[in-house]
Structure 1
């Protein structure tokens, strides 16, 4: 469980980075401030450390040089007295060691060693001596060679000292002593620099704590400033979302006279204008819907009378002369079309008013499609087209409103016959576990891409000059799209000029289900071959 929680941290931070302007601003400020403070802190630490080391080295150099001079003076006294026997040399060696230790001062302590330079053949010698804690192993061969070969100056070497408190830094200083009758000896002083090391550690700790505190202070200040600046922007964003959701009375609080207040007043003014326009458009839309509904209902009464009279005349058309009989037939045809138009207008007004409901029941889609094809076969034969049903898949039972699906199929088949130019019409029915789909494809004149995007507009025709043979109302495809959307499905179109048109309606198999697949593709598989 903790691993899973840790794995979600990057995603959570990435989401917060994308969504929150405050978090992004504070994070960028803290990162850049942290980098700047780190660079400055490291520079200060290096500078102070170098300065402390240089001062301590200068102090050690002065002390070592003074200690070397005092020790040399002690050994030179053997020559001035004219003695220089072995006992006196040993005594002078002890005296020199004591004098050197008293002449050097180091808070961490000083170790001393007097070692004979190798390769000498003098008759007399004095024994090598060293402090008990002298780190002989820490002296490098390079330091010893340099000290022995160049006796005119001091030689330095950084060393590591092993103590009870751990490894500590130190500095070894080498010089030479000329002992009468005994030859050349090397004087080594090792200074413990733990005091300087502690000073540097304390300084670095102080810098680190100060840097962290400074970055946190910058983060707090940035948060306060960002809240002051981003807060009104967030309020504006939330208000705009509420207005977009339909709460047209929402406004931004106006306080002060700065640029944010100016933005609020401008936004509120824009919202007022939009609210007035939206309300006017809504009122106009309601008036149009009510007008269409009222007119459709009012026209039904006179249309019923006209229908009765027209049917009576149509039944006795054989008793009229040829011209009058033809007029009666035209009257009968146009009354039928007028009834269809009124029915479609009423249906559109119900969709616009949101007063339509699905009446679903288990439906065998293949059987419904076959019945629709049989119904349109006479019209297809008259137009010279043949219709073929290709039923695939195995999930043809679906919860649908059969009346609305039949209406969709009638509109698609009628449209295919109208524009099929007498070519075959392919009807494909396919399904899967989640959706059913019906595809109707003609091989007629087709449409351009810009025309295909408008086929579902009300009363729109790709070619207004084209004569209608079936007599549609211009609302069929619009109603079909609304019927598909009411099921939670979709109605798509593919068309190519000179190749044909394909409509595909896809509906969920279960009422309220989501569409996650397309059993019938929108573009036919042979589209490329046909276009070539």
Structure 2
């Protein structure tokens, strides 16, 4: 369940970071919505404050005029009020109701002030329920003895309600007592106006956001389309299609980008073709020279063999010269053979003759043939093998050549120290590692050792007749199997070379059964 929740998030993250257009549009959307919401809120608040302020000023002024008129009517009336009578109250209510117009723009509520006799009549107009008057407003009217107002919900006797403003003031009625006169002005018109403004702003905001997103989409698509085209063309160029080019339109910055890109692609194609031509010439030269040298080399070898058969009749100086000639001919033949092998790799003509072979058998043959060299160098060769057979599909001749090169290399650079050979295998791969305790490798040299004719110390002479191509050929042999040939080393700590081959030729390698880097200078880890 956790993975199921994480995968959509990862997909969304990859989509976010993989699309510049998505990031631009999303950022524009967020910023636009923020600006529209803030501006709309500010505008609505300003409109609301203006409408409410104007409405409050109007109703307070109108209520103040009506309250003064009612007080004048009460003071000037010559009606004699019997105890509990309501003629004057009714007259005041009718007069104020008449001022409200038809339909009425406000309602009136006349409530007896606290302390009045219980028989004091109370009146209301417009079917307004007395519960519409908030207690806080009544307290203000009773305590301040002046005009007061507040927002309220106007409740009607039929159960309906509407937002409104209540304005109240005390009213003294002779022979009856003190009353509280309240004007209730509905604000449904202002609410409708505010709702209209709010809806208009929301519609305009949504329309603005939509139009802006369309504009941003069109602009980013127009701008990024050449960039996408350049990326696609670059990918096809990287895949080897060197004839791909961008279409140039106009003379603007994008056109200059396309022109520069096409010029770059043309230059790269020319350089690649030049390098390919030089490489072909080089491979052909090496192959031709190697083959052309075989005939004179064979003749020289025959002459050297004849001389070698008659060494006893030669003087010491001539005998030594004949021996040196034979040694150098052996080295030259080895170099020529390896040059021919390199030319096969370069031309793609190397063929793998793979069959199931036990790596331990190959290693036994290598150690047997290199035993005289180990004795001459004074290096003890130790072998560590697993309890199981390490069988894999391999070209036995090529693998034997790889392992022999590794062992000979360790003996040559081991300075007489022990050489440790280890074999390992698992269900996917087999491996052999060779470690010496000699001069080692400096940082960065672990990848250089496989270069052709490379030597860590050019002034150091090869003592076993090496050609400088052994490790390079070994690397190509390992790659031909689909395997790895790796090196590790540190100055004064020696070096480790590890060969890893898949049990089945062509299968992918994910790890090696043997470690590459040693631990604390003891063994390999």
TM-score, L = length of structure 2 = 0.91
Give the match's secondary structure for 2:181. strand
In the alignment, which of 364, 367, 373 is matched to residue 373 of structure 1? 367
- Partners of 2:101 and 2:500 in 1: how far apart? 96
Shift of residue 439 of structure 1?
1.2
In the alignment, which of 433, 443, 450 is matched to residue 439 of structure 1? 433
Partner of 1:204: 198
1:319-366 Cα distance to aligned partner (Å, 9 max, x none): 433333322222222222112111211111111112223222222223
- Partners of 1:7 and 1:139 in 2: how far apart? 58
In the alignment, which of 144, 168, 171 is matched to residue 150 of structure 1? 144
Whether 1:94 aligns to 2:90 is yes
Shift of residue 15 of structure 1?
1.9
Whether 1:487 aligns to 2:481 is yes
In the alignment, which of 447, 454, 461 is matched to residue 467 of structure 1? 461
Partner of 1:83: 80
C-alpha spacing 1:393/1:145, structure 2 compared with 1 (3 Å): farther
Unaligned segments of structure 1, at least 5 residues: none
Kept in 2, the 8 Å contact 1:314–1:329? The answer is: yes
The more displaced of 155-164 and 327-336 is 155-164
Partner of 1:104: 100
- Partners of 1:510 and 1:529 in 2: how far apart? 28
Partner of 2:417: 423
Kept in 1, the 8 Å contact 2:108–2:126? The answer is: no
- Partners of 2:131 and 2:519 in 1: how far apart? 87
Shift of residue 163 of structure 1?
10
Partner of 1:506: 500
- Partners of 1:290 and 1:164 in 2: how far apart? 108
The more displaced of 393-402 and 164-173 is 164-173
- Partners of 2:242 and 2:103 in 1: how far apart? 80
Whether 1:54 aligns to 2:53 is yes
Shift of residue 48 of structure 1?
1.3
Shift of residue 82 of structure 1?
6.0
- Partners of 2:522 and 2:27 in 1: how far apart? 52
The more displaced of 93-102 and 198-207 is 93-102
- Partners of 2:450 and 2:57 in 1: how far apart? 94
Shift of residue 62 of structure 1?
2.7
Partner of 1:264: 258
Shift of residue 287 of structure 1?
0.3
- Partners of 2:319 and 2:23 in 1: how far apart? 82
Kept in 2, the 8 Å contact 1:108–1:194? The answer is: no
C-alpha spacing 1:471/1:102, structure 2 compared with 1 (3 Å): farther
Partner of 1:28: 27
- Partners of 2:285 and 2:101 in 1: how far apart? 110
C-alpha spacing 1:302/1:171, structure 2 compared with 1 (3 Å): same
Alignment of 1:333-352 (within 5 A): 333-352=327-346
Partner of 1:66: 65
C-alpha spacing 1:5/1:504, structure 2 compared with 1 (3 Å): closer
In the alignment, which of 267, 273, 287 is matched to residue 273 of structure 1? 267
Kept in 1, the 8 Å contact 2:105–2:186? The answer is: yes
- Partners of 2:213 and 2:186 in 1: how far apart? 42
Kept in 2, the 8 Å contact 1:437–1:505? The answer is: yes
Whether 1:117 aligns to 2:117 is no
1:291-331 Cα distance to aligned partner (Å, 9 max, x none): 10111122222222333333343344344333333222222
Give the match's secondary structure for 2:65. helix
Shift of residue 123 of structure 1?
6.1
C-alpha spacing 1:250/1:336, structure 2 compared with 1 (3 Å): same
Kept in 1, the 8 Å contact 2:131–2:155? The answer is: no
In the alignment, which of 188, 191, 206 is matched to residue 185 of structure 2? 191
Whether 1:227 aligns to 2:221 is yes
In the alignment, which of 506, 513, 516 is matched to residue 510 of structure 2? 516
- Partners of 1:310 and 1:376 in 2: how far apart? 26
Kept in 1, the 8 Å contact 2:374–2:411? The answer is: yes
Kept in 2, the 8 Å contact 1:108–1:195? The answer is: no
The more displaced of 221-230 and 155-164 is 155-164
Kept in 2, the 8 Å contact 1:161–1:192? The answer is: no
C-alpha spacing 1:505/1:168, structure 2 compared with 1 (3 Å): farther
Kept in 2, the 8 Å contact 1:64–1:104? The answer is: no
Tell me how large the CA RMSD over aligned residues is.
Answer: 3.0
The more displaced of 157-166 and 367-376 is 157-166
Shift of residue 381 of structure 1?
1.2
TM-score, L = length of structure 1 = 0.90
Shift of residue 146 of structure 1?
0.9
Kept in 1, the 8 Å contact 2:154–2:184? The answer is: no
Shift of residue 477 of structure 1?
0.9
Kept in 1, the 8 Å contact 2:304–2:325? The answer is: yes
Kept in 2, the 8 Å contact 1:442–1:500? The answer is: yes
Unaligned segments of structure 2, at least 5 residues: none
Shift of residue 213 of structure 1?
1.4
Give the match's secondary structure for 1:409. helix
C-alpha spacing 1:202/1:124, structure 2 compared with 1 (3 Å): closer
Whether 1:296 aligns to 2:290 is yes
Kept in 2, the 8 Å contact 1:108–1:193? The answer is: no
1:415-460 Cα distance to aligned partner (Å, 9 max, x none): 0000001110111222222222221110011121143342111101
Whether 1:407 aligns to 2:396 is no
- Partners of 2:434 and 2:176 in 1: how far apart? 120
- Partners of 2:154 and 2:314 in 1: how far apart? 130
Kept in 2, the 8 Å contact 1:70–1:99? The answer is: no
C-alpha spacing 1:194/1:124, structure 2 compared with 1 (3 Å): closer
Partner of 1:313: 307
C-alpha spacing 1:42/1:123, structure 2 compared with 1 (3 Å): closer
C-alpha spacing 1:77/1:439, structure 2 compared with 1 (3 Å): same
- Partners of 1:107 and 1:520 in 2: how far apart? 100
